Amino acid sequence: MAEHKTKCLIIGSGPAGYTAAIYTSRANLSPILYEGMQPGGQLTTTTEVENFPGYPDGVTGPQLMEDLKKQAERFGADLRYGAVTAVDFSKRPFSATIDNGDTVTADSVIIATGASARYLGLPDEEKYNGIGVSACATCDGFFYRGKTVAVVGGGDTACEEALYLSTLAKKVFLIVRKAALRASKVMQQRVLQKENITVLFNCNTVGLFGDEFLEGAKLVENKGTEMEQVFDIAIDGFFLAIGHTPNTEVFKPYIKLDDAGFIVTENGTTQTSVEGIFAAGDVADPRYRQAISAAGSGCRAAIDAERFLLENS
């Protein structure tokens, strides 16, 4: 076990963490970044990214993360594999414990641990992940132009995803496990009035199928009742819209979170409720959840951290 010291500790990788590392390194803060259990974050499970500026021909998620990582290393960022298992944000310098037993003390901290999409828990979801299964319509909807897709969920997010996909896809199924939508009345009306959206109420997805790529979903209607029936729908894409879980468990005792567990930032900055600790990316963003917005917030967090250190040196 070893002890390390740094002016800026970055917890988490992905677009937010790596961008924060680029900016803090160029500001001579000699940051230490711990990449977490999934170095590169959610984008490492995405096959093609076509909406990140600077890649006119598109880029795979893993390659994009590798490029950002190399850029951070070029400026001297100390990038390490490992996950933070405990923190003490009650006083400065702040401290963090790593899963290998090491400890790090830091004058500032940038949290970029992201948020994990909720899945149904079907083995098939992992099998077709990236080849038919997605948790981001904005990211992957373009690949399903003129095709048939399904969205799972009954809230505002699911309705928004279905409406967005309806502008691209030929047909959209909205799979709702209850007898009614939970979304706002306005969103419900928009979905129900959209000609190429079919809402399947009282339905649960129990499986996905296809040879090389996703070809369909197996559903159960009225599960557990006398009217229960199993049927298949032919689809090319299956989108999860049942929410995201922010990776904030370890920070709960110290950082203010909203009702859904996302980190609350103050006054349009990346400053959290603890002075000297900043949040970037999906861990503080329940709304946009895009690689480019995460990268932008990583830049902002780095600048906020640099200014904080200058004012408190």
**Residues 202, 227: contact at Cβ < 8 Å?**
no
Mean pLDDT, range 213-220, rounded to an integer: 96
Percent residues over pLDDT 70 in the chain: 99
pLDDT band of residue 225 (cuts 50, 70, 90) is very high
Q: Give ∠ CA 44-262-310 in degrees, rounded to 5.
A: 90
pTM for this predicted structure: 0.78
Q: Does 139 participate in catalysis according to the annotation?
A: yes
- Give dist(CA 183, CA 158) in Å, integer: 8
> Active-site residue among 139, 159, 236, 304?
139
Contacts of 135 (CB under 8 A, 6+ apart): 117, 119, 239, 240, 241, 244
pLDDT band of residue 172 (cuts 50, 70, 90) is very high
pLDDT surpassing 70 at residue 272: yes
- Give dist(CA 222, CA 201) in Å, integer: 9
- In tens, the pLDDT along 230-252 reads 999 999 999 999 988 899 999 99
**Residues 217, 205: contact at Cβ < 8 Å?**
yes
pLDDT of residue 88: 97
pLDDT of residue 288: 85
- Give dist(CA 50, CA 267) in Å, integer: 32
> Active-site residue among 107, 140, 285, 304?
140
Q: Does 124 participate in catalysis according to the annotation?
A: no
pLDDT of residue 127: 92
- In tens, the pLDDT along 31-77 reads 999 998 777 777 776 667 888 999 999 898 889 999 999 999 999 99
> Active-site residue among 8, 124, 136, 282?
136
**If you average pLDDT over every residue of the chain, what do you get?**
93
pLDDT of residue 244: 84
3-state helix, strand, coil in the chain (%, to 5): 30, 30, 40
Pairing of strands 197-200, 171-175: parallel
Mean pLDDT, range 188-203, rounded to an integer: 96
pLDDT of residue 36: 87
Mean pLDDT, range 134-146, rounded to an integer: 89
